[in-house]
Structure formats: C-alpha cells, structure tokens
Structure 1
C-alpha cells in the first residue's frame, strides 16, 4: 500500500464525521441530466450565489455505502491534480435519499458523443486524446491507483475539438495490489486474463437454488491482484475505437474468431509457443528473434501477415497496439510508454482518405438535418 492509498483511507474516516445534510435546490439550480448509470446520476447545476457551473453526482443511499462515496469524493478532490483528471470541487453533502458531491463539469459531453460509428474521429484528434489519457493514467498509477473503467463514456470534453479532455468516474478505482474477485464480461474492454472467470457470471435460478448457488460461487470464484495493465488494455481498445468507430473484436475470448485472428498475428510477431501464456514472466529476447515492424522486412513474403482488423494501420500504430494489447499482462506496455508512438501517421493513406470521405458525408447529413429542424421550428 502506497502513502497515497493510506492517506485516502484516513481522509475518508475524517470526512465521514463532518458530512452535512443539505437541500440541493436551496444552494443549486439544477439544469439537466448529464449521465446516469448503476452508480446513480450526474446533473449539470449552477451554484445559486456564485453562478459557477458544476456537475453534481448523486449516489442513492440505499445502494451506496458511505465509505465508497467518500472514497470516490476524496480521491477526486485530493489526488486528481493532473489537468486531464476530473476533480471534485470541495462540496459534499447528504440528502434524505442521496449522497452528493460536486465536480468539474464536462460542458461538451463525453468522448462517446464524438466517435462516429464505423468512422471514428480524425487521427490528430485521437492522438491528442491518447496523449492526455496517458498522462492522466500515469499520474494515477504513480500514486498506486488503477482506474479499471476506462471507456469513451468516462472521458469528458472541455471543448468540442478534444483539445482538452478529462478522465472521470472513479467508482471502480482500486489500489494496485488489492485482491478482488475476477469478473468476466462480454466486451472487448475485458482483458484476456479475465476469461478464467467466464463461467462465473450470475445466472437465473429459482429461490430454492440460491443457497446452493452461493456455495458454488465461493468454490469457483477466482481472486486476482489489481494491476495497472488493466488500464493499458482499455487504452488500446479505446484508441482502436477512436480511429475506426468500431471494436477489433466483440469479446476477448479464445473462441471469438476476430480475437483469435489477432492472437495468431500476435503469436507470429511477438510470442514463442512456450511463452505465449497470459501470465508469462518477462524474458530476454535476442535481436535476431525480434521482428521489427518498422524495418525493411515489413511487407515481404516471409513477414507475418497482419490481423485483418489491423491492416488499415501503419507499422507505427501496429506496434502501439501490440504493446498495449499484449495478451500477457506482465508484459503489457504501460500508458507512459505510449507517447513515444505519437506524432507519426497511424492510419494508412488509403484508409485515411476513405474515412475523411465518410466524415464529409456525415457532416453533410448533419447539416441537412439541422436545416430541416430549423425550417420545422419556423413553420411552428
């Protein structure tokens, strides 16, 4: 446990004694819903006296422990000092039904809003976002924390061109090294090492079977250590989604055909048969054994064919993906390594031209839709 994680626990115990009850409407003018999920909801509000815009995050008291609420609040308030991390504003209170704290508001929505399906975002925009997220994740990791929930919906925009983004939603954050039950879920963001828990998801059963199911879960539950490599994997998937507007595979499992294609490519490029194990330890590799994706052998007959879903990327981008999406968590690249891949082209010229044409069509459709909406309003 790092000094930061110890201090966070102490802060939670202290603030638990000073949390006050307050009426939201008395101090804030609530404007609109910004987002909601299993945690609760986030509302855009303005402070009645100061006129300051902020996001109020509401956690239902019936489903939220006071400690977990205070942990997220104090983490955001005191440790999210990086400019690309969403910070709490020092306002936390309770109502009869909710725990609430105020944080910086992403007034331009989130990253999910700007990624066009099957098109993505422009490459320079993607590289700006990746650069900022690398800094944000590296900051958290340096303090001993792992975010564990990096996805487009949790990256908030401070302007429409993604020149400034902020990673938020710290409800899943854990200290590195914490032992937690492994959870598998059907998503490309789920890491390959989580497949060991694939059969452990909840299934419907009759009330008579509940006790038996609980005993079975205790037997089959797999406990793992929280590691920063989880964030690296999510960063790789998010980068792919930004560049293409799609995902490289539906599920990170051995029987998913598209993931298997990637695994085969990765095996040819980086793995040896006795090493391609998800828990492999780092081993030295001679220069003769290594395959250089930037070198003169790229494209020759005996060089490894790229997985189909990665064929649109340059060797530089392929190297980035092979680093962040290493199936072996102990060998997976870290966010602080990713900036070395910035600056060069990530998309093949032909693919870049195709995507730009698609964006023009999307912008044209958007303009026509806006004109029709304005005409409709004029008629009314």
Structure 2
C-alpha cells in the first residue's frame, strides 16, 4: 500500500510538470458559453458552461491567479484527473487552461444538490439514505487512499447528489488533497470535521506559531472526518465545534472513548444503537494509529444505527420510553475554508 502511494505521488508530480508545460492559454468567453454560476467559495467559482464548438455541457472551475498559486492549481487538477475514473468521484474532461486572470479546468456536470442541502437541521436524513451515501463515499475514499492520496476535506458540501434519494452520490473538490506523508506545519481555524491531531496544529488567535511538530497527512484524517459526516447526516447536528479539551461535547465523547465500559454514553450519542457506537468508536478513535479504515463501515451497514424513537404526550422525543437529553450543540451549517500550511 505504501509503495503504491509513493509511486502515485511521483506520478502526480510528473503529471503536474507535464501539465505546466502544456497549459493552454485561452479566454473563457471565447471558448465557452457561460450559462450561470453554480458554486462559489474562497477558491473561486464554478460555472455551468457549454463548449462553443461541441455544445457539451460541463462545470468549469475557475480560480483567480491573484489568490491561487500555480502549483496548487496543478496539484488539484492532476489529482482530480488521476482519480476521476472512479464512479463515485466527479469526472474530468482533461481540459486545463489559463486565461489572463484565471486558472481553470473542466469537470463533469452534476445536476443536483450537495448532501448538505438535504440535511434537515436537528433531524438529519433517513438512515437508509445515509447508508447508501456511506457505502459510495467509503468506496471513493478507499480508492483515493489506495493511490497514496488523502482528500483532507470530507464534508457534506463536497458530496454531490445525482438524485434526491441519495441513490447515487459523487465526491468532489480535491483542492486540499495531498500525497500521503506530506507535512502540515499549521492550520488557521478549525472545523468540526477535523481530527484531534489536526486541531493540535491550529494557530490560536494572536499566535504566530504552534508548539506541536508538523503533522503527517494520513488516511486516518479522512476516516475521522467521515465519521463526523455520518453523525451529522444522521442527526442534523455537529457532535462538537472542534476537537479540543475546552469543548465540553468533544471532551465527553473523548472520556467515553477512553473508558466505554465505565463511562456512560454522552447524552448526544444516546440515540445510537450499540452497533453504531462501536462503529463510531472505531472511526473516531482518538489515537490516529488505532483508527479503522473507511471500508470497515461495510460490516455495520446491515445493522440498525438509530434507536427506535417515540413521542410522549408532551411532544418530547423519547428513546425506549425515556425522555432524551436536550442537545445544545450547533445544528449543521455550511463551513468556511480553512487555510492549511504544508511543506
């Protein structure tokens, strides 16, 4: 597995070098009819376009040169192209270019919403739909990891739906993807999907450097994020704001993880069956070295994940006849990009 990763890492470097030498120069409006903007972020924007000569509809991801390093653009494009043959990863057309003001590449047009758009806050989506998503994203992540790469940005916004029932989904956005073993010096800001070891290299407000040593990018970062995503889409809540001891919700879960037979299941997790809690304990292992691989979720898919719920006469949701604890963690919301310094 590691040897394959190293080979693929070298291949990505070669693809980047070749793409840089052959990068076409074209102006977007001369070659594409712009229909509308379908996405926007700190990176730039995604446009729905048709090719002027062939009429082919596609999604054009364009990034301003003023805020995008050429190497970063080349890495995202080459990694995306390298992985795009998988049925659960957004495909690419093999068109990369630069204009006077932008870098850009063309990708498969996925007509539909992202997974975040169908999550009902404080409710989630049906368990059967969650499991359909989980199996497909696990397959995509296994493929990515087998190629010695790590996605590093697993969240509902990057999972695209091809239908309204989550029968077919595709993983998108490789803007943060890196070769396994790449070192992260620090990050600015944290997201609920980030593993504890990643939060440990976060710069606090006013801080100029972190005390922790650089962090090696490993598939276990995706495994943790995958576990948090499963929690979010099952419940409509984040399990915590970030993985630090000052976050009470995270600390409750961490205490339970370290002594599951002694500590009571935290209130926020009481809705899950013992089988689901076993799955979460493996995906969300505090020690990254002990974390399971994403593919191990398959052994839990045939089991129930959510406890049967009832509604009592006061309208409170109950679990097995007992009133469930009130949850005050934030409901799911779209996340902002986080800067990560790598070397």
Superposition TM-score tier, normalisation by shorter sequence: 0.7 to 0.9
In 1, Cα distance between equivalents of 2:153 and 2:295: 18
Cα deviation per residue 1:268-299 (whole Å; 9 max; x = unaligned)?
A: 22xxxxxxxxxxxxxxxxxxxxx6xxxxxxxx
Partner of 1:80: 84
User: For residues 311-322 of structure 1, what are the structure 2 equivalents within 5 Å?
Assistant: 311-322=270-281
TM-score normalised by L of structure 1: 0.77
5+ residue gaps, structure 2: 319-343
Q: Which has the higher helix share?
A: 1
User: For residues 245-256 of structure 1, what are the structure 2 equivalents within 5 Å?
Assistant: 245-256=236-247
Of the two structures, which has the highest relative contact order with CA contacts closer than 8 Å and spacing of 6 or more? 2
User: For residues 22-171 of structure 1, what are the structure 2 equivalents within 5 Å?
Assistant: 22-171=26-175
Conserved in 2, the CA contact under 8 Å of 1:40 and 1:59? yes
Q: Which has the higher strand share?
A: 2
Partner of 1:310: 269
1:243 Cα deviation after fit = 0.4
Q: For the aligned residues, what is the CA RMSD?
A: 2.1
Matched residue SS, 1:182? strand
Matched residue SS, 1:29? strand
**Range with bigger deviation, 175-184 or 346-355:** 346-355
Q: Indicate how the Cα distance of structure 1 residues 176 and 100 shifts in structure 2: closer, same or farther if over 3 A, else same.
A: same
Cα deviation per residue 1:96-135 (whole Å; 9 max; x = unaligned)?
A: 1101100012210211111111111111110011111100
In 1, Cα distance between equivalents of 2:144 and 2:134: 15
1:48 Cα deviation after fit = 2.9
Conserved in 2, the CA contact under 8 Å of 1:184 and 1:195? no
Structure 1 or 2, whichever has the larger Rg, is 1
Q: Indicate how the Cα distance of structure 1 residues 166 and 324 shifts in structure 2: closer, same or farther if over 3 A, else same.
A: same
5+ residue gaps, structure 1: 204-212, 270-290, 292-302, 356-380
Conserved in 2, the CA contact under 8 Å of 1:182 and 1:222? no
Conserved in 1, the CA contact under 8 Å of 2:83 and 2:89? no
Choose the corresponding residue for 2:231, options 228, 240, 248: 240
1:179 Cα deviation after fit = 1.6
In 1, Cα distance between equivalents of 2:213 and 2:66: 28
Choose the corresponding residue for 1:335, options 294, 311, 316: 294
**Range with bigger deviation, 23-32 or 94-103:** 23-32
Partner of 1:174: 178
